Amino acid sequence: MAVTTGKLAQRLNAIAATWYTDPFRPNIQLQTFLQSLASHPNLTPRAVDAARALQVNAMQKKYPLSKKMLQPASTPKHYDRLLEGYHKSAQGIRRPWWKIFFGIW
């Protein structure tokens, strides 16, 4: 049984409504793209399923990364620092110039 375009649009709009906003690109939001995609006349169930898979991190659950991949031997805290920097910059917190200059985290 085929799903109607209206139901697909409702499902995609529901996914778009729960999508997080990107604080670093206020003029480009995935939520806006998904909402405009919902009104496309050739919307397919496959496109809605792909958006849902992105929302629930299906690939991350299907193919989990090993500890060795997340903490490489050369710089084991690289990804932790990257996440910390992302969260702090979203709050407007910068590293002091002297930490940048000396390469201190």
pLDDT digits (tens, 9 = 90+) for 52-67: 999 999 999 999 999 9
Do residues 4 and 30 both lie within one domain?
yes
Tokens 């169930």, residue located: 45
Do residues 52 and 9 both lie within one domain?
yes
CA distance 69 to 66: 5
Token pair recorded at residue 16: 């778009």
Do residues 33 and 12 both lie within one domain?
yes
How many structural domains is the chain composed of? 2
Do residues 35 and 83 both lie within one domain?
no
CA distance 87 to 66: 23
pLDDT digits (tens, 9 = 90+) for 2-44: 678 899 999 999 999 999 999 899 899 999 999 999 999 999 9
Residue 79 · residue 87 · CB < 8 Å: no
Range of the domain at 55: 1-64
Do residues 70 and 48 both lie within one domain?
no
Tokens 């084991």, residue located: 76
Do residues 47 and 69 both lie within one domain?
no
Among 85, 86, 79, 87, residue whose Cα is nearest residue 100: 85
Total-model pTM:
0.76
Domain boundary among 32, 47, 64: 64
